[in-house]
C-alpha cells in the first residue's frame, strides 16, 4: 500500500468528479437498506473516508459517524466540510482498525480496498471490520474487479481527466498482468502567480495510485475466514444484478 498519496492531490480530489461517487452512494443507501434490511440509524464507521463527503452526508441523515483515513490532508478537508457536525475523525491505517463491537454499519467506498496489495493486508482489513461491528452488524463496500483494472483501465493508456483555466490533470495507466496490479499515474499542473512578463508560473504534482484486484472466490473465502456471512454481491447498483465477467466494479453486503 502506497502511503504517500492524497497529499497535494487531496484538494483536487475534493473539487472534481470524484465527489460524484460519494453522492451516488448516498443515493444508493436507502434502496440497499430496504433490500437488505440494513440499519437506518446508529453508529457508522466509514473506512477510508477521504474528504468526508459520504460521512458528512450520513451524519446529516442522523447517523453517529466515525471517519478514518490515512491521509492527513484528506481529513483536513473532511473536517472543513463537516463544519459543526459532530463527526469523529481519526487518522488511521485501515489495516490497524482497533474497534470492538462498536458499530452498526461499516462502509468503505471507491475501491479503497483495492489499495491493499497483498492478501494478508486485505484480510487484516476484513478482520478489523468484523471486530468493529456489533453482532448482526453489516459491512458494505465496493471493489474494482480484475476485468476493471486489467482491461477497463488499460483501454486508455493516457487521457485528460480534468482541465480548467487554472489546472490540468493527466492520467496514465500501466499494469502488471502476472500480479494483477495496475498503476494510475496522476500528474497535475496548477496555475500559480502571474509573472512580470504576463505569463503564469505553474506547479506540478505527481502521485502514483496502485491497485490490486482479486478473484471473487478469494474474496468470499477471506470474508468467511474473518467471520462474515456474504449477503449479496452486485455487479450493478441500477439493476441490483449479480456480477458479470465484464463487470468493472462489484459491491458487497456482508453481515457479522
Give the 3-state secondary structure of 11-62: HHHHHCCCHHHHHHHHHHHHHHHHHHCCCCCCEEEEECCCCCHHHHHHHHCC
Counting the structural domains of the chain, the total is 2
Co-location of 195 and 237 in the same domain: no
Residue at 2 is within a domain? no
Question: Global pTM?
Answer: 0.92
Q: Tens digits of per-residue pLDDT, 36-45? A: 999 999 999 9
| Collapsed DSSP state (helix, strand, coil) of residue 193 | strand
Tens digits of residue pLDDT in 59-78: 999 999 999 999 898 899 99
Say what the pLDDT of residue 92 is: 96
137 and 155 within one domain: no
102 domain-assigned: yes
The pLDDT of residue 10 is 55
In a domain, 1, yes or no: no
The reported pLDDT for the residue numbered 14 is 47
Residues 44 and 113 in one domain: yes
Amino acid 162: pLDDT: 85
Q: Same structural domain for residues 161 and 227? A: no
- Same domain for 15 and 120? yes
pLDDT tens-place string over residues 180-196: 999 999 998 989 999 99
CA distances to 59, 179, 187, 250 from 174, rounded to whole Å, are: 38, 12, 14, 22
CA-nearest of 104, 62, 109 to 86 is: 62
Q: Check which CATH number belongs to the domain holding 232 and give it.
A: 3.40.50.150
Do residues 207 and 184 touch, judged by C-beta distance below 8 A? no
Regarding whether 183 and 85 lie in a shared domain, the answer is: no
Residue 175 lies in a domain: yes
H-run or E-run covering 146: helix 146-147
Residue 85 within any structural domain of the chain: yes
Q: Does residue 159 share a domain with residue 59?
A: no
Same domain, 80 and 206: no
Query: Block means of pLDDT (10 residues each) for the chain, length 256 residues?
Result: 54 60 88 94 96 95 97 91 95 96 96 97 98 98 97 94 88 95 93 90 91 98 98 92 96 98
The whole domain housing 126 covers: 9-144+215-255
Please indicate, yes or no, whether residues 153 and 109 belong to a single structural domain of this protein. no
Residue 4: the pLDDT is 57
Q: Is residue 207 located within the same domain as residue 220?
A: no
- The whole-number pLDDT of residue 13 equals 54
Does residue 35 lie within any of the structural domains? yes
CATH number at residue 207: 2.20.25.110
Amino acid at each position: 500500500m502506497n502511503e504517500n498519496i492524497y497529499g497535494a492531490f487531496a484538494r483536487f480530489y475534493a473539487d472534481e468528479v470524484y465527489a460524484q461517487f460519494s453522492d451516488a452512494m448516498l443515493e444508493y443507501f436507502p434502496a440497499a437498506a430496504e433490500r437488505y434490511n440494513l440499519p437506518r440509524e446508529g453508529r457508522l464507521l466509514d473506512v477510508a473516508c477521504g474528504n468526508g463527503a459520504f460521512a458528512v452526508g450520513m451524519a446529516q441523515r442522523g447517523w453517529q459517524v466515525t471517519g478514518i483515513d490515512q491521509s492527513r490532508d484528506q481529513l483536513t478537508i473532511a473536517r472543513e466540510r463537516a463544519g459543526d457536525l459532530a463527526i469523529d475523525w481519526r487518522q488511521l491505517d485501515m489495516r490497524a482498525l482497533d474497534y470492538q463491537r462498536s458499530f452498526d454499519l461499516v462502509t468503505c467506498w471507491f475501491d479503497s480496498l483495492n489499495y491493499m496489495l497483498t492478501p494478508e493486508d486485505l484480510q487484516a482489513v476484513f478482520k478489523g471490520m468484523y471486530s468493529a461491528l456489533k453482532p448482526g452488524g453489516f459491512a458494505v463496500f465496493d471493489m474494482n474487479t480484475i476485468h476493471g483494472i486489467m482491461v477497463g483501465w488499460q483501454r486508455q493508456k493516457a487521457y485528460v481527466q480534468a482541465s480548467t483555466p487554472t489546472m490540468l490533470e493527466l492520467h496514465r495507466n500501466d499494469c502488471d498482468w502476472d500480479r494483477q496490479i495496475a498503476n494510475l499515474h496522476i500528474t497535475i499542473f496548477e496555475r500559480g502567480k502571474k509573472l512580470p512578463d504576463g505569463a503564469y508560473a505553474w506547479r506540478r504534482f505527481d502521485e502514483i495510485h496502485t491497485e490490486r484486484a482479486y478473484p471473487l472466490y478469494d474474496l468470499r473465502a477471506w470474508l468467511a475466514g474473518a467471520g462474515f456471512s456474504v449477503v449479496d454481491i452486485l455487479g450493478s447498483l441500477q439493476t441490483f444484478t449479480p456480477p458479470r465477467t465484464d463487470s468493472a466494479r462489484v459491491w458487497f453486503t456482508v453481515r457479522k
